[in-house]
A and B are shown apart, each in its own frame.
Chain A
Amino acid sequence: MPPKSILKNSAVSTNAPPASSKPVNPRHLETAIHHARILEQRKVVERQVLDSIITLLDFPSTADADPKQPSAADARQFRDFMVPFQPSDYDSLIEERNIADKCGYALCPRPKRKAPSTARKQFVDTAKGVEIVDRKVLEVWCSDDCARRALYVKVQLNEEPAWMRQGGVGDKIELMVENADEHHKALPLRLKREAAPKAPAPKDEDDIAAAWAARDDALADLALERGEKPGRLSKANKDLMTENIKERVVASKPPVAPSLNEGQSHMAIEGHVPKTDAATAEQDEDEDPQDWDKHLPG
Protein backbone atom coordinates (compact mmCIF):
# COMPACT_ATOMS: atom_id res chain seq x y z
CA MET A 1 0.00 0.00 0.00
CA PRO A 2 1.43 3.38 -0.93
CA PRO A 3 1.87 5.98 1.82
CA LYS A 4 -0.90 8.41 2.40
CA SER A 5 -0.87 11.51 0.29
CA ILE A 6 0.83 14.52 1.79
CA LEU A 7 -1.84 16.69 0.28
CA LYS A 8 -5.32 17.65 1.30
CA ASN A 9 -7.98 15.32 -0.03
CA SER A 10 -9.45 18.03 -2.18
CA ALA A 11 -6.36 18.06 -4.33
CA VAL A 12 -7.00 14.49 -5.40
CA SER A 13 -10.70 14.92 -6.01
CA THR A 14 -10.13 17.74 -8.48
CA ASN A 15 -8.87 15.10 -10.84
CA ALA A 16 -12.23 13.41 -11.06
CA PRO A 17 -14.91 15.16 -13.06
CA PRO A 18 -17.41 16.98 -10.86
CA ALA A 19 -20.56 14.97 -10.15
CA SER A 20 -22.93 17.34 -11.90
CA SER A 21 -20.81 18.58 -14.73
CA LYS A 22 -22.62 21.36 -16.55
CA PRO A 23 -21.71 22.38 -20.06
CA VAL A 24 -19.35 25.36 -20.21
CA ASN A 25 -21.14 28.65 -20.44
CA PRO A 26 -20.15 29.94 -23.88
CA ARG A 27 -20.15 33.52 -22.66
CA HIS A 28 -17.72 32.74 -19.87
CA LEU A 29 -15.54 30.89 -22.30
CA GLU A 30 -15.60 33.83 -24.66
CA THR A 31 -14.64 36.20 -21.87
CA ALA A 32 -11.80 33.95 -20.83
CA ILE A 33 -10.49 33.75 -24.37
CA HIS A 34 -10.84 37.50 -24.74
CA HIS A 35 -8.74 38.10 -21.64
CA ALA A 36 -6.15 35.56 -22.67
CA ARG A 37 -5.86 37.27 -26.01
CA ILE A 38 -5.39 40.70 -24.43
CA LEU A 39 -2.70 39.27 -22.18
CA GLU A 40 -0.99 37.76 -25.17
CA GLN A 41 -1.14 41.04 -27.07
CA ARG A 42 0.20 42.87 -24.07
CA LYS A 43 3.21 40.59 -23.96
CA VAL A 44 3.85 41.14 -27.65
CA VAL A 45 3.59 44.92 -27.34
CA GLU A 46 5.80 45.05 -24.27
CA ARG A 47 8.45 43.02 -25.99
CA GLN A 48 8.16 45.21 -29.08
CA VAL A 49 8.57 48.39 -27.04
CA LEU A 50 11.61 46.91 -25.31
CA ASP A 51 13.19 45.95 -28.64
CA SER A 52 12.50 49.42 -30.01
CA ILE A 53 14.14 51.05 -27.01
CA ILE A 54 17.17 48.80 -27.40
CA THR A 55 17.44 49.84 -31.05
CA LEU A 56 16.90 53.50 -30.20
CA LEU A 57 19.73 53.34 -27.67
CA ASP A 58 22.07 53.30 -30.65
CA PHE A 59 20.18 55.98 -32.55
CA PRO A 60 20.73 57.97 -34.70
CA SER A 61 22.43 55.73 -37.23
CA THR A 62 25.31 58.14 -37.88
CA ALA A 63 27.42 59.97 -35.32
CA ASP A 64 27.21 63.27 -37.17
CA ALA A 65 23.44 63.23 -37.57
CA ASP A 66 21.61 66.50 -36.96
CA PRO A 67 18.48 66.23 -34.79
CA LYS A 68 17.05 69.20 -36.68
CA GLN A 69 17.49 67.40 -39.97
CA PRO A 70 17.38 63.67 -39.36
CA SER A 71 17.90 61.23 -42.19
CA ALA A 72 14.68 60.04 -43.77
CA ALA A 73 15.37 56.46 -42.77
CA ASP A 74 16.02 57.29 -39.11
CA ALA A 75 13.02 59.58 -38.93
CA ARG A 76 10.71 57.00 -40.42
CA GLN A 77 11.93 54.20 -38.17
CA PHE A 78 11.66 56.40 -35.09
CA ARG A 79 8.12 57.41 -35.99
CA ASP A 80 7.08 53.84 -36.66
CA PHE A 81 8.56 52.73 -33.35
CA MET A 82 6.61 55.40 -31.52
CA VAL A 83 3.16 54.24 -32.57
CA PRO A 84 2.65 51.63 -29.82
CA PHE A 85 4.49 53.72 -27.20
CA GLN A 86 2.67 55.16 -24.23
CA PRO A 87 4.09 58.31 -22.64
CA SER A 88 5.56 56.17 -19.85
CA ASP A 89 7.40 54.04 -22.42
CA TYR A 90 8.78 57.22 -23.88
CA ASP A 91 10.03 58.22 -20.44
CA SER A 92 11.76 54.85 -20.26
CA LEU A 93 13.42 55.50 -23.59
CA ILE A 94 14.73 58.85 -22.31
CA GLU A 95 15.84 57.26 -19.06
CA GLU A 96 17.74 54.49 -20.82
CA ARG A 97 19.42 56.90 -23.23
CA ASN A 98 20.42 59.10 -20.33
CA ILE A 99 21.93 56.15 -18.48
CA ALA A 100 23.94 55.47 -21.63
CA ASP A 101 25.02 59.15 -21.36
CA LYS A 102 23.10 60.20 -24.45
CA CYS A 103 20.77 63.08 -25.15
CA GLY A 104 17.20 61.97 -24.43
CA TYR A 105 16.03 62.78 -27.96
CA ALA A 106 16.47 59.60 -29.98
CA LEU A 107 17.46 61.43 -33.18
CA CYS A 108 20.31 63.27 -31.47
CA PRO A 109 23.82 61.77 -31.42
CA ARG A 110 25.21 64.13 -28.78
CA PRO A 111 25.83 63.30 -25.13
CA LYS A 112 23.41 64.66 -22.58
CA ARG A 113 24.27 67.95 -20.93
CA LYS A 114 26.54 67.79 -17.92
CA ALA A 115 25.62 69.82 -14.89
CA PRO A 116 28.43 72.13 -13.72
CA SER A 117 28.80 70.15 -10.51
CA THR A 118 27.69 66.81 -9.11
CA ALA A 119 25.50 68.44 -6.47
CA ARG A 120 21.96 67.12 -6.42
CA LYS A 121 20.48 70.62 -6.72
CA GLN A 122 21.73 73.08 -9.30
CA PHE A 123 21.37 76.81 -9.79
CA VAL A 124 20.29 77.77 -13.26
CA ASP A 125 19.99 81.18 -14.88
CA THR A 126 16.66 81.50 -16.61
CA ALA A 127 14.57 84.32 -17.99
CA LYS A 128 12.77 84.40 -14.65
CA GLY A 129 16.01 84.67 -12.71
CA VAL A 130 18.04 82.05 -10.92
CA GLU A 131 16.20 78.83 -10.29
CA ILE A 132 17.07 75.71 -8.36
CA VAL A 133 16.67 72.53 -10.38
CA ASP A 134 17.36 68.86 -9.82
CA ARG A 135 20.59 67.80 -11.45
CA LYS A 136 18.78 64.88 -13.12
CA VAL A 137 16.43 67.32 -14.83
CA LEU A 138 19.35 69.31 -16.16
CA GLU A 139 21.08 66.26 -17.52
CA VAL A 140 18.33 64.90 -19.75
CA TRP A 141 18.97 66.69 -23.03
CA CYS A 142 21.97 68.13 -24.81
CA SER A 143 20.09 71.36 -25.49
CA ASP A 144 16.73 73.07 -25.07
CA ASP A 145 16.13 72.52 -28.75
CA CYS A 146 16.30 68.74 -28.35
CA ALA A 147 14.00 68.98 -25.34
CA ARG A 148 11.45 70.74 -27.51
CA ARG A 149 11.70 68.23 -30.33
CA ALA A 150 11.59 65.26 -27.98
CA LEU A 151 8.59 66.50 -26.04
CA TYR A 152 6.84 67.37 -29.27
CA VAL A 153 6.80 63.64 -29.93
CA LYS A 154 5.75 62.77 -26.42
CA VAL A 155 2.61 64.87 -26.36
CA GLN A 156 1.33 62.95 -29.38
CA LEU A 157 1.65 59.54 -27.75
CA ASN A 158 -1.47 57.65 -26.88
CA GLU A 159 -2.06 57.23 -23.14
CA GLU A 160 -4.00 54.08 -23.81
CA PRO A 161 -1.95 50.89 -23.92
CA ALA A 162 -1.53 49.69 -27.48
CA TRP A 163 -3.09 46.32 -26.66
CA MET A 164 -6.30 48.03 -25.55
CA ARG A 165 -6.62 50.46 -28.42
CA GLN A 166 -9.76 50.17 -30.49
CA GLY A 167 -9.46 50.12 -34.24
CA GLY A 168 -5.87 49.00 -34.26
CA VAL A 169 -2.85 51.26 -34.19
CA GLY A 170 -3.48 53.82 -36.87
CA ASP A 171 -1.90 56.73 -35.04
CA LYS A 172 0.70 58.70 -36.91
CA ILE A 173 3.46 60.38 -34.97
CA GLU A 174 4.93 63.56 -36.35
CA LEU A 175 8.37 64.96 -35.90
CA MET A 176 9.58 68.50 -35.73
CA VAL A 177 12.12 68.71 -38.55
CA GLU A 178 13.61 71.33 -40.81
CA ASN A 179 14.28 69.17 -43.82
CA ALA A 180 10.75 68.10 -44.50
CA ASP A 181 11.41 67.99 -48.24
CA GLU A 182 13.66 65.00 -47.76
CA HIS A 183 10.91 63.28 -45.85
CA HIS A 184 8.15 63.77 -48.38
CA LYS A 185 7.49 60.08 -48.33
CA ALA A 186 7.18 60.17 -44.60
CA LEU A 187 4.19 62.51 -44.32
CA PRO A 188 2.69 63.98 -42.31
CA LEU A 189 5.63 65.94 -41.07
CA ARG A 190 5.19 69.38 -39.78
CA LEU A 191 7.02 71.91 -41.91
CA LYS A 192 8.25 74.01 -39.10
CA ARG A 193 10.22 76.64 -40.92
CA GLU A 194 8.10 77.04 -43.98
CA ALA A 195 6.08 80.18 -43.40
CA ALA A 196 5.03 81.26 -46.83
CA PRO A 197 2.27 83.83 -47.00
CA LYS A 198 -0.92 82.14 -48.04
CA ALA A 199 -4.49 83.17 -48.51
CA PRO A 200 -6.36 83.24 -45.18
CA ALA A 201 -7.47 79.77 -44.26
CA PRO A 202 -11.13 78.86 -43.89
CA LYS A 203 -12.63 78.83 -40.42
CA ASP A 204 -12.07 75.23 -39.41
CA GLU A 205 -8.48 75.36 -40.56
CA ASP A 206 -8.10 78.36 -38.33
CA ASP A 207 -9.21 76.23 -35.43
CA ILE A 208 -6.70 73.58 -36.26
CA ALA A 209 -4.09 76.27 -36.52
CA ALA A 210 -5.07 77.61 -33.13
CA ALA A 211 -4.81 74.15 -31.64
CA TRP A 212 -1.34 73.74 -33.06
CA ALA A 213 -0.38 77.13 -31.75
CA ALA A 214 -1.65 76.29 -28.29
CA ARG A 215 0.28 73.08 -28.35
CA ASP A 216 3.40 74.92 -29.37
CA ASP A 217 2.99 77.43 -26.59
CA ALA A 218 2.57 74.66 -24.10
CA LEU A 219 5.64 72.91 -25.41
CA ALA A 220 7.67 76.08 -25.27
CA ASP A 221 6.66 76.60 -21.66
CA LEU A 222 7.67 73.11 -20.88
CA ALA A 223 11.01 73.41 -22.56
CA LEU A 224 11.60 76.58 -20.60
CA GLU A 225 10.75 75.05 -17.30
CA ARG A 226 12.27 71.69 -18.04
CA GLY A 227 10.30 70.63 -15.04
CA GLU A 228 9.76 67.10 -16.17
CA LYS A 229 11.68 64.15 -14.99
CA PRO A 230 11.91 60.87 -16.77
CA GLY A 231 9.88 58.23 -15.01
CA ARG A 232 7.08 60.39 -13.68
CA LEU A 233 6.04 62.50 -16.58
CA SER A 234 2.52 61.48 -17.25
CA LYS A 235 0.87 63.75 -14.73
CA ALA A 236 2.95 66.72 -15.67
CA ASN A 237 2.00 66.03 -19.22
CA LYS A 238 -1.69 66.48 -18.54
CA ASP A 239 -1.11 69.64 -16.54
CA LEU A 240 0.86 70.93 -19.40
CA MET A 241 -1.89 70.41 -21.88
CA THR A 242 -4.69 71.84 -19.79
CA GLU A 243 -3.18 74.56 -17.65
CA ASN A 244 -0.48 76.21 -19.63
CA ILE A 245 -2.35 76.95 -22.80
CA LYS A 246 -2.44 80.63 -23.59
CA GLU A 247 -5.01 82.42 -25.66
CA ARG A 248 -3.77 83.83 -28.88
CA VAL A 249 -3.92 87.59 -29.04
CA VAL A 250 -6.57 88.52 -31.58
CA ALA A 251 -5.21 90.77 -34.30
CA SER A 252 -7.01 94.10 -34.41
CA LYS A 253 -6.74 94.40 -38.18
CA PRO A 254 -9.06 92.27 -40.28
CA PRO A 255 -7.23 89.60 -42.24
CA VAL A 256 -6.03 90.67 -45.66
CA ALA A 257 -4.85 88.48 -48.46
CA PRO A 258 -1.08 88.60 -48.30
CA SER A 259 0.83 90.35 -51.03
CA LEU A 260 4.53 90.42 -51.64
CA ASN A 261 6.38 93.51 -50.61
CA GLU A 262 7.54 95.65 -53.45
CA GLY A 263 10.95 94.83 -54.73
CA GLN A 264 10.75 91.21 -53.50
CA SER A 265 8.78 89.68 -56.30
CA HIS A 266 11.89 88.75 -58.20
CA MET A 267 12.93 86.62 -55.23
CA ALA A 268 9.71 84.68 -55.16
CA ILE A 269 9.44 81.06 -56.15
CA GLU A 270 5.82 80.22 -56.83
CA GLY A 271 4.80 83.17 -54.72
CA HIS A 272 7.05 82.16 -51.85
CA VAL A 273 10.06 84.19 -50.84
CA PRO A 274 12.64 81.94 -49.16
CA LYS A 275 13.69 83.29 -45.78
CA THR A 276 17.26 83.65 -44.78
CA ASP A 277 16.95 85.85 -41.75
CA ALA A 278 16.15 83.85 -38.63
CA ALA A 279 14.42 86.72 -36.87
CA THR A 280 11.93 87.24 -39.69
CA ALA A 281 11.30 83.55 -39.80
CA GLU A 282 10.44 83.53 -36.12
CA GLN A 283 8.04 86.38 -36.58
CA ASP A 284 6.33 84.92 -39.59
CA GLU A 285 5.98 81.67 -37.81
CA ASP A 286 3.89 83.41 -35.18
CA GLU A 287 1.64 84.95 -37.73
CA ASP A 288 1.01 82.11 -40.11
CA PRO A 289 2.88 78.92 -39.42
CA GLN A 290 0.00 76.54 -39.30
CA ASP A 291 -0.23 75.39 -42.85
CA TRP A 292 1.55 72.11 -42.38
CA ASP A 293 -1.37 70.02 -43.49
CA LYS A 294 -1.57 71.73 -46.85
CA HIS A 295 1.14 69.34 -47.90
CA LEU A 296 -0.88 66.31 -47.16
CA PRO A 297 -2.05 64.42 -50.18
CA GLY A 298 -5.78 64.66 -50.73
Chain B
Amino acid sequence: MDDRENYGASMIRMWRVYRTAKQLCFDRGYQMLEEETQIPLAEFANKFMREDGEPDRGRMHFSCQPTEAMLAKYAVPPTAKDPNPPPQIGNIWVEFNADENVGLKQLRDYMQHLVNGSYYNGIMVCAKPMTGMALRLLRGSAGLEEGPKGGVDVFVEQDLLVNITKHDLVPTHILLSRDEKSQLLERYRLKETQLPRIQTSDPVARYLGLRRGQVVKIIRRSETAGRYASYRWAI
Protein backbone atom coordinates (compact mmCIF):
# COMPACT_ATOMS: atom_id res chain seq x y z
CA MET B 1 0.00 0.00 0.00
CA ASP B 2 2.97 2.27 0.60
CA ASP B 3 4.65 1.33 -2.66
CA ARG B 4 7.96 1.45 -0.81
CA GLU B 5 9.98 0.25 -3.74
CA ASN B 6 9.52 3.72 -5.23
CA TYR B 7 11.53 5.38 -2.51
CA GLY B 8 15.09 5.22 -1.29
CA ALA B 9 16.08 3.85 2.12
CA SER B 10 16.81 7.31 3.54
CA MET B 11 13.37 8.55 2.50
CA ILE B 12 11.64 5.64 4.23
CA ARG B 13 13.83 6.07 7.26
CA MET B 14 13.06 9.76 7.58
CA TRP B 15 9.35 9.10 7.10
CA ARG B 16 9.42 6.77 10.10
CA VAL B 17 11.31 9.32 12.18
CA TYR B 18 8.83 12.05 11.22
CA ARG B 19 5.85 9.88 12.09
CA THR B 20 7.26 9.03 15.50
CA ALA B 21 7.93 12.71 16.17
CA LYS B 22 4.30 13.49 15.35
CA GLN B 23 3.05 10.64 17.52
CA LEU B 24 5.25 11.86 20.35
CA CYS B 25 3.64 15.30 20.22
CA PHE B 26 0.20 13.73 20.03
CA ASP B 27 0.95 11.52 23.04
CA ARG B 28 2.34 14.43 25.03
CA GLY B 29 -0.98 16.17 24.57
CA TYR B 30 -0.50 18.70 21.80
CA GLN B 31 -3.26 19.54 19.36
CA MET B 32 -2.94 17.18 16.46
CA LEU B 33 -5.24 15.12 14.33
CA GLU B 34 -4.65 11.43 14.73
CA GLU B 35 -4.33 11.08 10.96
CA GLU B 36 -1.36 13.42 11.02
CA THR B 37 0.48 10.82 13.06
CA GLN B 38 -0.16 8.27 10.33
CA ILE B 39 0.92 10.17 7.29
CA PRO B 40 1.35 7.77 4.34
CA LEU B 41 4.79 7.47 2.80
CA ALA B 42 3.58 8.79 -0.56
CA GLU B 43 2.21 11.93 1.04
CA PHE B 44 5.36 12.40 3.08
CA ALA B 45 7.51 12.01 -0.02
CA ASN B 46 5.30 14.37 -1.92
CA LYS B 47 5.90 17.02 0.71
CA PHE B 48 9.51 16.50 1.66
CA MET B 49 11.42 14.70 -1.07
CA ARG B 50 14.08 16.62 -2.90
CA GLU B 51 14.71 16.17 -6.60
CA ASP B 52 17.62 13.84 -5.88
CA GLY B 53 15.31 11.53 -3.94
CA GLU B 54 16.69 12.47 -0.52
CA PRO B 55 14.55 13.85 2.31
CA ASP B 56 14.67 17.61 2.78
CA ARG B 57 15.03 17.88 6.56
CA GLY B 58 15.17 21.64 6.38
CA ARG B 59 11.46 21.78 5.48
CA MET B 60 10.15 19.16 7.89
CA HIS B 61 9.90 21.34 10.97
CA PHE B 62 6.52 21.92 12.60
CA SER B 63 5.02 23.44 15.71
CA CYS B 64 2.09 22.48 17.95
CA GLN B 65 -0.10 24.04 20.59
CA PRO B 66 -1.08 22.30 23.80
CA THR B 67 -4.65 20.98 24.11
CA GLU B 68 -6.89 22.12 26.96
CA ALA B 69 -6.24 18.81 28.66
CA MET B 70 -2.52 19.31 28.42
CA LEU B 71 -2.76 22.84 29.79
CA ALA B 72 -4.69 21.44 32.75
CA LYS B 73 -1.99 18.81 33.33
CA TYR B 74 0.66 21.46 33.52
CA ALA B 75 -1.43 23.91 35.53
CA VAL B 76 0.15 25.45 38.60
CA PRO B 77 -2.08 25.76 41.69
CA PRO B 78 -2.85 29.41 42.45
CA THR B 79 -1.45 30.97 45.59
CA ALA B 80 -2.31 34.17 47.43
CA LYS B 81 0.72 35.81 45.94
CA ASP B 82 0.11 34.52 42.44
CA PRO B 83 -3.64 33.91 42.02
CA ASN B 84 -3.39 33.19 38.30
CA PRO B 85 -0.11 31.41 37.50
CA PRO B 86 0.46 30.46 33.85
CA PRO B 87 0.62 26.76 33.01
CA GLN B 88 4.12 25.32 32.66
CA ILE B 89 3.67 24.43 29.04
CA GLY B 90 3.18 26.23 25.76
CA ASN B 91 3.85 25.98 22.06
CA ILE B 92 6.50 23.55 20.94
CA TRP B 93 8.81 23.76 17.92
CA VAL B 94 10.09 20.56 16.33
CA GLU B 95 13.02 20.72 13.97
CA PHE B 96 15.03 18.20 11.99
CA ASN B 97 18.67 19.14 11.68
CA ALA B 98 20.42 18.21 8.48
CA ASP B 99 24.00 19.00 9.52
CA GLU B 100 26.61 16.32 9.61
CA ASN B 101 27.94 17.59 12.93
CA VAL B 102 25.80 19.37 15.47
CA GLY B 103 27.58 21.35 18.13
CA LEU B 104 27.23 24.41 20.31
CA LYS B 105 26.72 26.65 17.32
CA GLN B 106 23.58 24.94 16.02
CA LEU B 107 22.18 24.31 19.48
CA ARG B 108 22.59 27.93 20.52
CA ASP B 109 21.08 29.16 17.24
CA TYR B 110 18.18 26.79 17.81
CA MET B 111 17.64 27.98 21.37
CA GLN B 112 17.71 31.55 20.18
CA HIS B 113 15.09 30.70 17.58
CA LEU B 114 12.83 29.22 20.27
CA VAL B 115 13.20 32.29 22.45
CA ASN B 116 12.56 34.65 19.55
CA GLY B 117 9.43 32.72 18.56
CA SER B 118 8.19 32.58 22.17
CA TYR B 119 8.14 28.81 22.14
CA TYR B 120 7.93 27.17 25.52
CA ASN B 121 10.23 24.34 24.52
CA GLY B 122 11.60 22.54 21.51
CA ILE B 123 12.59 19.22 20.06
CA MET B 124 15.65 18.92 17.89
CA VAL B 125 16.11 15.75 15.88
CA CYS B 126 19.69 15.24 14.70
CA ALA B 127 21.14 12.81 12.22
CA LYS B 128 24.02 12.05 14.59
CA PRO B 129 24.64 12.58 18.31
CA MET B 130 25.55 16.11 19.30
CA THR B 131 28.99 17.03 20.56
CA GLY B 132 29.80 16.56 24.22
CA MET B 133 29.87 20.31 24.84
CA ALA B 134 26.45 20.78 23.24
CA LEU B 135 25.07 18.07 25.52
CA ARG B 136 26.70 19.81 28.46
CA LEU B 137 24.95 23.04 27.52
CA LEU B 138 21.70 21.12 27.17
CA ARG B 139 21.96 19.60 30.64
CA GLY B 140 22.32 23.03 32.19
CA SER B 141 19.95 24.90 29.90
CA ALA B 142 16.52 24.23 31.43
CA GLY B 143 15.59 27.21 33.52
CA LEU B 144 18.53 29.27 32.35
CA GLU B 145 18.10 32.63 30.75
CA GLU B 146 19.77 31.70 27.52
CA GLY B 147 17.23 29.10 26.45
CA PRO B 148 13.47 28.62 26.28
CA LYS B 149 11.65 28.04 29.58
CA GLY B 150 10.91 24.41 28.94
CA GLY B 151 14.33 23.55 27.56
CA VAL B 152 15.22 21.54 24.50
CA ASP B 153 14.84 17.81 23.98
CA VAL B 154 17.32 16.33 21.58
CA PHE B 155 16.76 13.06 19.81
CA VAL B 156 18.94 11.22 17.37
CA GLU B 157 17.01 10.02 14.32
CA GLN B 158 17.88 6.49 15.32
CA ASP B 159 15.90 6.97 18.57
CA LEU B 160 12.72 7.72 16.65
CA LEU B 161 12.87 5.06 13.95
CA VAL B 162 10.54 3.02 16.10
CA ASN B 163 8.00 4.35 18.57
CA ILE B 164 9.04 2.52 21.73
CA THR B 165 5.77 3.23 23.50
CA LYS B 166 3.94 1.20 20.86
CA HIS B 167 5.89 -1.88 21.86
CA ASP B 168 3.78 -4.57 23.56
CA LEU B 169 6.08 -4.91 26.55
CA VAL B 170 6.16 -1.21 27.33
CA PRO B 171 3.35 -0.38 29.75
CA THR B 172 1.29 2.75 29.39
CA HIS B 173 2.76 5.78 31.13
CA ILE B 174 0.43 8.60 32.09
CA LEU B 175 1.61 11.89 33.49
CA LEU B 176 -0.17 13.11 36.61
CA SER B 177 -1.02 16.77 37.04
CA ARG B 178 0.18 18.55 40.17
CA ASP B 179 -3.27 18.14 41.66
CA GLU B 180 -3.39 14.46 40.90
CA LYS B 181 0.04 14.04 42.34
CA SER B 182 -0.79 15.68 45.65
CA GLN B 183 -4.02 13.68 45.86
CA LEU B 184 -2.05 10.50 45.36
CA LEU B 185 0.49 11.38 48.04
CA GLU B 186 -2.22 12.42 50.44
CA ARG B 187 -4.26 9.33 49.87
CA TYR B 188 -1.39 6.99 50.60
CA ARG B 189 0.22 9.29 53.18
CA LEU B 190 3.46 9.38 51.30
CA LYS B 191 6.22 11.76 50.60
CA GLU B 192 7.20 11.89 46.96
CA THR B 193 10.67 10.69 47.89
CA GLN B 194 9.11 7.42 48.98
CA LEU B 195 7.85 6.61 45.51
CA PRO B 196 9.86 4.39 43.21
CA ARG B 197 11.74 6.47 40.70
CA ILE B 198 12.10 6.93 36.99
CA GLN B 199 15.08 8.69 35.46
CA THR B 200 14.26 11.60 33.19
CA SER B 201 16.80 10.01 30.83
CA ASP B 202 14.71 6.84 30.60
CA PRO B 203 13.55 6.38 26.98
CA VAL B 204 9.86 6.55 27.87
CA ALA B 205 10.47 9.54 30.14
CA ARG B 206 12.25 11.27 27.28
CA TYR B 207 9.43 10.41 24.91
CA LEU B 208 6.93 12.01 27.26
CA GLY B 209 9.22 14.90 28.15
CA LEU B 210 9.03 14.15 31.88
CA ARG B 211 10.54 16.74 34.15
CA ARG B 212 12.07 16.27 37.54
CA GLY B 213 9.47 16.04 40.27
CA GLN B 214 6.64 14.87 38.06
CA VAL B 215 4.88 11.60 38.76
CA VAL B 216 3.75 9.09 36.14
CA LYS B 217 1.17 6.42 36.53
CA ILE B 218 2.27 3.19 34.91
CA ILE B 219 -0.43 0.79 33.88
CA ARG B 220 0.54 -2.79 33.22
CA ARG B 221 -1.57 -5.59 31.97
CA SER B 222 -1.22 -8.81 33.89
CA GLU B 223 -2.72 -12.14 32.95
CA THR B 224 -3.49 -12.92 36.57
CA ALA B 225 -4.41 -9.55 37.98
CA GLY B 226 -5.87 -7.76 34.98
CA ARG B 227 -4.64 -4.19 34.95
CA TYR B 228 -2.67 -2.74 37.78
CA ALA B 229 -1.10 0.61 38.28
CA SER B 230 2.06 1.81 39.92
CA TYR B 231 3.50 5.27 40.28
CA ARG B 232 6.97 6.65 39.69
CA TRP B 233 8.60 9.88 40.62
CA ALA B 234 10.81 11.43 37.92
CA ILE B 235 14.32 12.36 38.98
Chain A residues packing against B (C-beta within 8 Å):
2-3, 5-7, 11-12, 14-15, 46-47, 50, 53-54, 57, 92, 95-96, 98-100
Point out the residue from A5, A53, A57 that lies within 8 Å of B188, measured CB to CB. A5
Picked from A5, A12, A96, the residue with its CB within 8 Å of the CB of B105 is A96
Q: Inside 8 A of B106's CB, which chain A residues have their CB?
A: 99
B141 to chain A, nearest CB (A): 11
Distance in Å from the Cβ of B140 to the closest Cβ of chain A? 6
Contacts A7-B195, A54-B108 known; 16 new A-B pairs at CB < 8 A: A5-B190, A6-B188, A7-B196, A12-B194, A47-B140, A50-B133, A50-B137, A50-B140, A53-B104, A95-B131, A95-B133, A96-B103, A99-B101, A99-B104, A99-B105, A99-B131
Contact among B105, B132, B187, B189 with A100 in the assembled complex (CB-CB below 8 Å): B105
**Residue from the set A46, A47, A92 with the largest chain B CB neighbour count within 10 Å:** A92
Within 218-234 of B, Cβ neighbours of A (below 8 Å) are at 230-231
B102 within 8 A of A: yes
Say yes or no for B47: interface residue by CB 8 A criterion: no
Report the separation of the CA atoms of residues A3 and B189 in the bound assembly, to the nearest whole angstrom.
10
Q: Decide: A92 near B194, CB < 8 A? Known: A2-B187, A54-B104, A57-B104.
A: no
- A204 shortest CB reach to chain B, Å: 41
A92 to B130, CA, bound (A): 12
Contact size range, B: 20 to 34
Q: Could you tell me the distance in whole angstroms from the C-beta of A123 to the nearest C-beta in chain B?
A: 21
Q: Tell me the bound Cα distance from A138 to B136 in angstroms.
A: 27
Q: Which residue in A2, A5, A54, A96 is a CB contact (below 8 Å) of B131?
A: A96
Interface residues of chain B, those whose CB is within 8 Å of chain A, are 99, 101-106, 108, 131-133, 136-137, 140, 187-190, 194-196, 230-231
25 A-B pairs whose Cβ atoms sit less than 8 Å apart in the complex: A3-B187, A5-B188, A5-B189, A5-B190, A6-B231, A7-B190, A7-B195, A11-B194, A14-B194, A15-B194, A47-B140, A50-B137, A53-B104, A57-B104, A92-B131, A92-B133, A95-B103, A95-B131, A95-B133, A96-B103, A98-B101, A99-B102, A99-B104, A100-B104, A100-B105
Compute how far the CA of A23 lies from the CA of B132 in the bound complex, rounded to whole angstroms: 43
Closest partner residue, chain B, to A89 (CB atom): B133
B231 contacts A50, CB within 8 Å? no
A6: B residues at CB distance < 8 A:
188, 230-231
Query: Which B residue sits closest to A95, measured CB to CB?
Result: B131
| Bound CA span A50–B133, Å | 7
* One of A5, A47, A92, A98 near B132 (C-beta < 8 A): A92
